[in-house]
Amino acid sequence: MAEFAGHCPGLARDEIGWRIVRHAAWGETVEVALPELSEAQAAALCGQIRERARTALRRMAVARIVEAIDGATARLLDRSHPVRRKAEALLPVVTGYDRETVRLGLTGFLKTFRRPQLLRFLAEDFSDPGLLDGFRPAPKGGLVRAQGPDLLLHVWAGNVPALSLWSLVCGLLVKAGTVGKLASAEPLTAGWFAGLIAEQDPELGECLAAVWWKGGEGASEKVFLREADTVLAYGDDATLAALREKLPIGTRFLSHGHRIGFGVIAREALDRRRAPALARLAAQDVARYEQQGCYSPQMLFVERGGLVAPAEFARYLAHDLAALAARHPRRPLSPGEAAGVAAWRQAQELRDTADLLGEPADPWGVVVLDGDDTLRPSGLNRTVAVVAVDDLDAVPARVAPHRAFLQTAGVAASPERLLRLADGLAAVGVSRITAIGAMTRPEAGWHHDGRFSLLDLVTLTEIEAGAEAAAEGFAPYAD
Amino acid sequence: MRFSDRVILVTGASRGIGAAIATAFAAEGGLVIVNFRENAAAAEAVVAACRARGGAALAIAADVTSPEAVAEMARRIGEEAGRLDAVVNNAFAPYRFDPDNRVRFAETPWSAYQTQFDGAVRAAYTVVQATLPLLRGGASIVNLASDLVSRPSIPYHDYTTAKAALVGFSRNLAAELGPLGVRVNCVAPGLVEGTQGSRFTGEAVRETLVAQTPLRRLATPEDVAGPVLFLAGDDSRFVTGQVLHVDGGLVMG
């Protein structure tokens, strides 16, 4: 019995063409039915969502939308709720991540979508979130309001379970009529969440849809790309470039491409007590989601001069990765991924200044580099390089060559040095500096790739002070 | 073959328990470093026995209480093998286990304690210090203690106190090296037949010990080798800081 993915308001199940995809992992198989709409259905759906957004969604107070999202999140956080139980049962098989990683990841992630966190999202981007409900006084004079697009198309990636919820929630908060393209690698959570939203608030549920088509060839693709006012897409460079090429010139295109994360560990954090604890946290950052997230570390710069030398830190890290593999087994690798890991190992073995820890059969790999290495991608899937540096000040220059791909840096350093390093990292394009151990868990309201999650989606309509003043002249009470 | 492609150092391996341990590793495919102090001919015989069992072996002379000699041995191991997967600290200062003529506490000079501390703790200290850089995650250290620590059937003050210190040494090392993936355990045999030290233990005492031992006999060097291999290999991968008694159940717990 297949699990039906997506959310298509107004369309009965037997009206839709379903594409059945089999997923297998951990000795189980799951069949997922993906909703593939015809051109006509796609056009009708876009029209309907756009119309509902204009009429119903725009009139809803943001507070009501927050309530609905909060309610849906509460259900997904409740481990006894049928949808949560389904998520815990199916996502490990569909994504390949182990059950514990999925369970802990879901809870950690969903916690950022409760009411207080949603209000924080709003407060991060809008000094007055009332702007989304109506015209509000502007500091410079006049009035201003913010509006999301009538039709916002999300193109989701499935590298991390439930990742789609970030952009889905952002779109709803700015009252955008929403159509999402499910990710083939994780096509389930977005549909479940949409269903729960519809259960909380049926009217809101009619303002969003989650569908699927085969990227680049699905019949409905050109309809969705033509109809969308704004496209928010996740994926690799090739996917994003292909997508952008197909969009009408007036469509706003927001993209989040591949990124490379790294960690920085200062000598003051490398004493006998702190170093092993930090290694453990770093190992968690490396192991979570097999470094598939944009925020995952692929290299750790470790400063010399602490009580624990970089090479010893690497040995702690190696043992922690080995220990973590017992609790969170590595996802079964595809042939391509296995080749990536093998190629990475081989490249390290060929270098004189490299010390490779772990055997080829181990589900992890750590290499200690003693040269003047710059940031480089690892083989992913729990492979990481520890680079010894004489001083933290050297790090910004070491990562600068990858400027276009920088995003998250995990840092362990004293406050003064953290700020000094942050200046250097900001200058070369790092947009998020976080603690070691929190790299894969961005906080509520973070600015993905350094951009405004909500503000980027809206357009402002201003009533200039002059217009307001002129209107006074036409008032029935005008003198 | 549990120890194929593994490199194991056994100190004091030219005779007795050490020789039995060395040949047992060789029989499981290991490359055994047969450390000895003086008796090169005996060590070469152990090497030959190792090869006959299908393993590889190399005899290296070194007094385990001499940092220079041990450093030189570690250098050679690094050169020949590049790493160590297990270190068995078996060598100890010569001791005469003679219940009838044992020295009582009042007559035991501090120098006797010192000699035993040097033979047990200082030897293990010196060997682990020198070989630590060769030990990778997954490696194991096994130190030979004694069941006398838990049950001083005969109060050999100096010997047993030193072995007790070796147990403490091992547990501290286990706590520190655990996060690096290196395990440290002890094997604590009871009286072992057919060794140099035990030949002065008379029949009466042997019979008494046997009578109190649930398995009704004394240990042989081969009895000790099995538990050492267990603690050195992957079967005990989640065991560290432990003392495994090998005395037929004389000591329990």
The CA R_g of chain A, rounded to the nearest whole Å, is 24
- What tens digit of pLDDT does each residue of A337-365 get? 999 999 999 999 998 878 999 999 999 99
The answer on pLDDT for A243 being more than 80 is: yes
pLDDT score for B199 = 87
Report residues of chain B scoring pLDDT below 70: none
CB contact under 8 A, A312 and B180: yes
What is the token pair recorded at B152?
Answer: 């001083």
What is the token pair recorded at A262?
Answer: 């790294």
Closest CA to B28 of B3, B58, B59, B61: B3
Phi, psi of A50 (to 5 degrees): -60, -45
pLDDT score for A353 = 78
Which whole number is the average pLDDT over A383-395?
Answer: 97
CATH classification of A260-434 is 3.90.550.10, yes or no? no
Residue of A nearest to B177 (CA): A316
Strand partners, A186: A183
The answer on pLDDT for A399 being more than 90 is: yes
Choose, from B95, B125, B156, B159, the residue flagged as catalytic.
Answer: B159
pLDDT score for A192 = 98
Phi, psi of A20 (to 5 degrees): -90, 125
Residue B167 lies in a domain: yes
Which whole number is the average pLDDT over A429-452?
Answer: 93
Q: Which of A308, A315, A364 to mutate to test the interface with B (most CBs of B within 10 A)?
A: A315
The answer on pLDDT for A445 being more than 90 is: no
CATH classification of A3-258 is 3.40.50.720, yes or no? no
Domain count across chain B: 1
Tell me the C-alpha distance between A201 and A206, whole Å.
9
Residue of B nearest to A323 (CA): B181
CB contact under 8 A, A357 and B137: yes
For residue B176, give its domain range.
7-246
Phi, psi of A311 (to 5 degrees): -65, -35
The yes-or-no answer on residue B159 being catalytic is: yes
Q: Interface pTM (ipTM) of the complex?
A: 0.82
Q: Judge whether A177 and A306 are in contact, CB under 8 Å.
A: no
Residue of A nearest to B238 (CA): A323
Does B67 lie at the interface with A, CB-CB under 8 angstroms?
no
- What tens digit of pLDDT does each residue of A182-210 get? 999 999 999 999 999 999 999 999 999 99
pLDDT score for B196 = 82
Does B137 lie at the interface with A, CB-CB under 8 angstroms?
yes
Residue B2 lies in a domain: no
CB contact under 8 A, A357 and B179: no
Q: Where are the domains of chain A?
A: 3-258, 260-434
Dihedral (C-alpha) A107, A108, A109, A110: value to the nearest 10 degrees? 40
- Residue B45's domain is classified under what CATH number? 3.40.50.720
pLDDT above 70 covers a percentage of chain A that reads: 100
Chain B hits for A357, CB-CB cut-off 8 Å, are: 136-137
pLDDT score for A196 = 98
CB contact under 8 A, B179 and A319: yes
Chain A hits for B138, CB-CB cut-off 8 Å, are: 322
Does B181 lie at the interface with A, CB-CB under 8 angstroms?
yes
Residue B215 lies in a domain: yes
pLDDT band at residue A218, thresholds of 50, 70 and 90? confident
